Amino acid sequence: MTKDSISTPTLKAADSRHDREKALLLRAYRLMCMSMAMTDKYEANRSICKYVHSTSRGHEAIQLAAGLLLQPCDYVSPYYRDDSMMLAMGFTPYELMLQLLAKKDDPFSAGRSYYCHPSSRQPDKPIIPHQSSATGMQVIPATGMAQGIQYLERSGLVQGEERPVVLCSLGDGSVTEGEVSEAWQFAVLKQLPIIYLVQDNEWGISVSSAEARAMDAYEYAAGFKGMERLRVDGSDFEESYQAMQTAIDYVRSERKPIVVHARVPLLGHHTSGVRKEWYRTPENLERHAQHDPFTKICQRLLEKGVQETVLTDVKSETNKYIASQFDMARLADDPDTSSVRDHVFAPTPVTEEQGVRYPRGGAKVVMVDAALHAIEELMREHPEAILYGQDVGGRLGGVFREAATLASKFGDERVYNTAIQEAYIIGSTVGLSAVGVKPIVEVQFADYIYPGFNQLVSEISKSCYLTAGKFPIQALIRVPIGAYGGGGPYHSGSVETTLLSIKGIKIVYPSNAADMKGLMKAAFLDPNPVVMLEHKGLYWSKVPGTQDAMTIEPDSDYILPLGKGAVVQEGEGMCIVTYGMGVYWAKAAAARYPGQVAIIDLRTLFPLDESLVFETVRKLGKCLVLTEEQLNNSFVVIRRAYSTTVFPLLGRASLHIRCAGFTGGTVEHGFRATDVAECRESSDVDSRDTELLIF
Ligand SMILES: Cc1ncc(C[n+]2csc(CCOP(=O)(O)OP(=O)(O)O)c2C)c(N)n1
């Protein structure tokens, strides 16, 4: 083991500890036998294993050391090769096999996910949030857990002596992912209590370390000032145990980050589906075999005076035990297919509109302030709520002043700037949510949500479903959106269709101040991830025709559930279904036809108020869908629910209109608001029994 600056007593030095060490070695040996027997069992039964799987063969020593040293108060993000670590933390082979075979009682995902993709809230073990298959992507959520723990400790929201650490485990191949860098930057900047354990077997899949990197993880970590580092031979159990003890003690006492770089051989296949002999030479396999942790641990036990017969007895007992566990798991119930739709979302407590929307004598408020006041009231009531993002801290309070004054009211520990790292901003909410902090984060412009999209898709949206409801992600993600004030191609974008393609998140798009405040409250109280799209052109009602976005400010108790649209105005002849800025374009167009045009403001794009839309369309027979999105591939056209389910019944025309680049009263290209009405007239003339798409 080499180390930067930490000093510890050596394990082998103290004779008085001889028996304890022998017992520990024997314990590790037994677990190693178990995990090896599992690898063999799975290999022999590949045809009945539901998905591809990886096992820890070759990585056992470092994983067992880590798993044995973690405490129930700790948090862990194991990766797909960490089955030995899982055994050492106390999970049974049977539990792991239930996931391998996609069984109903799989304690991690109820049969929904691959082998060794754990998640757990068992009280006698470390907490494990959702683990995805995306290599390296767990580093941001895991760092978010350490960020949350630090906040809870510093704000006095946790009592007691426990000082939890976070262990984030990953392969060497994943360290080259850009998101690892965002997480490490944040961890060293904030000095978070986290151990990054990199298991370096010198392979990605078939990509060798020589092809993939100019430096290993230990060398790379040197660039992150403030990151402590350890190197260890991860095939030697005693050395691994000592290194992990050192690392865990350091983080538990110093509350600072550390990278442990463990060199390990890869003795098994990459996965059951990608076989080692396809891409590794006999020489390479032989070189790795020389570092087999099993050979090493046997050797050490013999040196310590353990009889060889004891070792062979343990091995054969373990083989029998694993065989019986596998037989049991194989016979366990498969999931009930009726449960396949369960757990996409956790139930929300907010189902009804509550509180006073328009208090008597109340003052009018612009939308941006309605949002600000909602956040302020939430943060006052919930000390576990924090707000962060680019420029939202005290100096500026957001580029739209949408978070102005919050840092001075709640302090820099609760409201702060982050670097330009959208992946971290979004993905860290997974970790914060797992430790019980309620994050409100901001992406500065909708156009820049894309670097965070991976976290939204790979980690956030799937967490509730793939943990069978154990880890819904409570995350409120504020995103200023839309065309306003000459923003141009990178500051005016609409992203709702792209967001709507993600199953497992909710999307809110208010069009006025009262809705903004009520929906912001519901979004925060929702246990699921909610993206709040906030139109920049409506923030101050400065765009001509958007004065109605200013409303009387609702009382602090006002909450508006997600998924309920509003009838903005009644009309007899047709309806316009829209949201956000579209509401004001619709009103302007409809003014030419008094009493004729009903306008529906969707307010939430997912969940969608389908019953309101369908009832209105059924009643009026003509519908126009209006959006600010770009011309091609908007959800209003992709989603043909209205035309396929409603219009065929009526034999009437449906009309989808999309206005691109419209910046409130002026025309960049595309339509003027009045074009909407003109299109309506043309549909009366010649579009009976057809669906008309107008570009
Ligand atoms: C983001 C992402 N890209 C690609 C893959 C496909 N993939 C699965 S494992 C793997 C190699 C990972 O290597 P490493 O991190 O060193 O872990 P090891 O399997 O060697 O333990 C790749 C490329 C993935 N799962 N996720």
Please tell me whether residues 31 and 121 are part of one structural domain. Answer: yes
Whether 336 maps to a domain, the answer reads no
> What is residue 491's predicted lDDT score, i.e. its pLDDT?
95
Q: Residues with Cβ < 8 Å from 351, sequence gap 6 or more?
A: 561
3 state SS of 234: coil
Whether 678 maps to a domain, the answer reads yes
Task: Give the chain's residues under pLDDT 70.
Answer: 1-15, 631, 637-695
Name the burial class of residue 153, with classes exposed (0-12), middle (13-18) and buried (19+) by CB atoms within 10 angstroms of its CB: middle
Per-residue pLDDT reduced to its tens digit, 517-559: 999 999 999 999 999 999 999 999 999 999 999 999 999 999 9
Residues with CB under 6 A from ligand 1: 81, 133-135, 171-174, 201, 203-205, 270
260 and 244 in contact (C-beta within 8 Å)?
Answer: yes
Please tell me whether residues 588 and 611 are part of one structural domain. Answer: yes
Whether 12 maps to a domain, the answer reads no
Alpha carbon of 201 to ligand 1 centroid (Å) = 12
Please tell me whether residues 546 and 570 are part of one structural domain. Answer: no
DSSP element (H, E) containing 623: strand 623-627
> What is residue 677's predicted lDDT score, i.e. its pLDDT?
35
pTM above 0.75, yes or no: yes
Alpha carbon of 427 to ligand 1 centroid (Å) = 19
Whole-angstrom CA distances from 19 to 65, 242, 281 are 18, 16, 42
404-410 long-range contacts, CB within 8 A, separation 24+: 404/372, 405/372, 405/376, 406/372, 406/375, 406/376, 406/379, 409/376, 409/379, 410/379
> What is residue 521's predicted lDDT score, i.e. its pLDDT?
98
**Ligand 1 atom nearest residue 203's Cα:** 20
Whether 69 maps to a domain, the answer reads yes
Distance (Å, rounded) from C-alpha 614 to C-alpha 121? Answer: 42
CATH number reported for the structural domain that contains residue 625 in this entry = 3.40.50.920
Distance (Å, rounded) from C-alpha 518 to C-alpha 628? Answer: 23
Please tell me whether residues 502 and 591 are part of one structural domain. Answer: no
**Ligand 1 atom nearest residue 137's Cα:** 1
With the most atoms of ligand 1 within 8 angstroms of its CB, the residue from 55, 135, 216 to mutate is: 135
> What is residue 670's predicted lDDT score, i.e. its pLDDT?
31
Please tell me whether residues 114 and 260 are part of one structural domain. Answer: yes
Select from 527, 552, 577 the last residue of a domain: 552
R_g over Cα of the chain: 29
Using alpha carbons, select from 372, 341, 430, 516 the residue that is nearest to residue 131: 430
Angle, alpha carbons 429-432-437 (nearest 5°): 120
Please tell me whether residues 83 and 189 are part of one structural domain. Answer: yes
Distance (Å, rounded) from C-alpha 476 to C-alpha 478? Answer: 6
Q: Which protein residue's CA is at the shortest distance from atom 20 of ligand 1?
A: 204
Select from 491, 523, 552 the last residue of a domain: 552
Alpha carbon of 173 to ligand 1 centroid (Å) = 6
Alpha carbon of 103 to ligand 1 centroid (Å) = 25
**Ligand 1 atom nearest residue 204's Cα:** 13
Whether 356 maps to a domain, the answer reads no
428 and 186 in contact (C-beta within 8 Å)?
Answer: yes
Range(s) of the domain holding residue 466: 364-552
Half-sphere exposure of 688 (CA within 13 A, CB side): 3
90 and 124 in contact (C-beta within 8 Å)?
Answer: yes
With the most atoms of ligand 1 within 8 angstroms of its CB, the residue from 54, 138, 174, 213 to mutate is: 174
In order, the DSSP letters of 349-390 are: S--S-BS-SS-TTPPEE-HHHHHHHHHHHHHHH-TTEEEEET
Whether 340 maps to a domain, the answer reads no
Please tell me whether residues 318 and 396 are part of one structural domain. Answer: no
What is the count of structural domains for the chain?
Answer: 3
Q: Residues with Cβ < 8 Å from 593, sequence gap 6 or more?
A: 571, 573, 677, 680
What is the dihedral angle through the alpha carbons of 598, 602, 608, 611, rounded to the nearest 10 degrees?
-20
DSSP lists the bridge partners of residue 693 as 656
DSSP element (H, E) containing 284: helix 282-289
Please tell me whether residues 528 and 638 are part of one structural domain. Answer: no
Please tell me whether residues 133 and 244 are part of one structural domain. Answer: yes
Please tell me whether residues 669 and 521 are part of one structural domain. Answer: no
Please tell me whether residues 526 and 497 are part of one structural domain. Answer: yes
Distance (Å, rounded) from C-alpha 270 to C-alpha 276? Answer: 6
Distance (Å, rounded) from C-alpha 402 to C-alpha 517? Answer: 13
Distance (Å, rounded) from C-alpha 582 to C-alpha 659? Answer: 9
Average pLDDT across the chain, whole number:
91
Distance (Å, rounded) from C-alpha 372 to C-alpha 400? Answer: 11
DSSP element (H, E) containing 570: none
CATH number reported for the structural domain that contains residue 295 in this entry = 3.40.50.970
Distance (Å, rounded) from C-alpha 169 to C-alpha 142? Answer: 9
339 and 465 in contact (C-beta within 8 Å)?
Answer: no
Distance (Å, rounded) from C-alpha 289 to C-alpha 235? Answer: 11
> What is residue 653's predicted lDDT score, i.e. its pLDDT?
35
Amino acid at 275: R
Asked whether the CA dihedral 393, 394, 395, 398 is positive or negative, the reply is positive
Instruction: Please state whether the peptide bond connecting residue 607 to the residue before it is cis, i.e. omega within 30 degrees of 0.
Output: yes
Per-residue pLDDT reduced to its tens digit, 89-108: 999 999 999 999 999 999 99
Whether 487 maps to a domain, the answer reads yes
Whole-angstrom CA distances from 65 to 22, 62, 252 are 14, 5, 16
Whether 247 maps to a domain, the answer reads yes
**Ligand 1 atom nearest residue 172's Cα:** 16
Please tell me whether residues 28 and 107 are part of one structural domain. Answer: yes
Angle, alpha carbons 603-605-608 (nearest 5°): 95
3 state SS of 605: strand
Select from 552, 582, 609 the last residue of a domain: 552
> What is residue 669's predicted lDDT score, i.e. its pLDDT?
26
Q: Is 117 an annotated catalytic residue?
A: no
Alpha carbon of 204 to ligand 1 centroid (Å) = 6
**Catalytic position from the list 491, 535, 656, 669:** 491
